Structure formats: structure tokens, C-alpha cells
Amino acid sequence: MSHRVSWLPPALGAAAAFAFSAPAFAQGTAAQGAAQTNPSRATVLKTLDDNFKGIDSNGDGTLTQAELAAAEAKVVQQRLVQVRGRFESEFARLDTNKDGTLSKAEFMAAAPTAPTAAPTGANSLAQLDSNKDGKVSAAEYRVPVLSRFDRADSNKDGTLSLAERQAAASADAGNRR
């Protein structure tokens, strides 16, 4: 399942609790699976807090640029592993006669490689650190996702129905065009 949160920095967006894209958001998080199809605001908040604690390696209640960089690097590495796995599968699928004519070296040359520069966390810090103190508090970390949740919760019942998630996904798709 793909998790992309477009209102957070790209790498941290993947680490965020929920993606608001139609397929991923409709399914909830991997931990919740099919059991939770209408995520509540409370569930989103708990997942955000759990993610924040996971990124806050020193447990001081704020996210430093170094902690954000480490989280971004982890997400980048996870994405790289996933993409490379898909390339392997695609190679096997494309080589239908299994004669190896489409060489693996040629195919893998088109695969993404790790970035040449390590993530610094600067973009994440700039986007999340609303008071510009050089750290991200739990409240600052929550704002983008909870704001998005509140906008999507059109009837303000604290739960996102399938219709509300689909409407949010449609609005996002329209904004990206």
C-alpha cells in the first residue's frame, strides 16, 4: 500500500499516519488493515503521536533537524527497497521467453539509485517548524495532518466515511492538475 501525504515533506509524508490518496486512505494504515475502514480523528491522532515518538529518538518531545533527517533517510531507503523489488518483478515479467535477452544489467540500469546527497531534514524542519525555533513540537507535527483530516470530515463527526475520503482524494487530484 502506498502512503503519501502531500502536505508534509515528501519523505516524512510517507511516514505519516495516513495517506489521503483514494486507495491508500480508503484502506487505512497497514496496522489497522481492513478492520478500520472509517478512521476516526482519534485514530489519526494516536498514529501521529506514535510516529512522532518514533522519530523523536532522544525522547525530548521535539523533533530536531537531525531526527527529521534520520526519519527521511529511513523512508528513502524503504522506498528504494520497494522500487527495486518492483523492477525485479518487472524484469521477470518482461522476459517472457526466459532467454535473458533483456539483460538484467540493462534493466536495472533504469532502476532508481540512492540519492547522492543524504537528506538533511532542512525542508521538513522549514515546513513543520511554525514558530521557527529550530525544533518541531508534537503540536507542530500534528497540524498538517489534522488540518487535512478536519477539512475532509465534512459532517464534523470525527470519522472519515468512504464518501468523505473519496471527496478529499478528488479534491487533491484536482489541485495537482
Domain range annotation of the chain: 10-176
**Residues 141-152 pLDDT 10s:** 999 999 999 999
pTM to 2 decimal places: 0.54
Domain 10-176 classified CATH 1.10.238.10? yes
**How many C-beta neighbours within 10 Å does residue 101 have?**
10
Identify the band that residue 116 occupies on the pLDDT scale cut at 50, 70 and 90. Answer: confident
Query: Grid coordinates in use for 22?
Result: 483514494
Identify the band that residue 174 occupies on the pLDDT scale cut at 50, 70 and 90. Answer: confident
pLDDT average, residue stretch 159-173? 91
30, 57, 18: which is closest to 142 by C-alpha?
Answer: 18
pLDDT average, residue stretch 18-44? 55
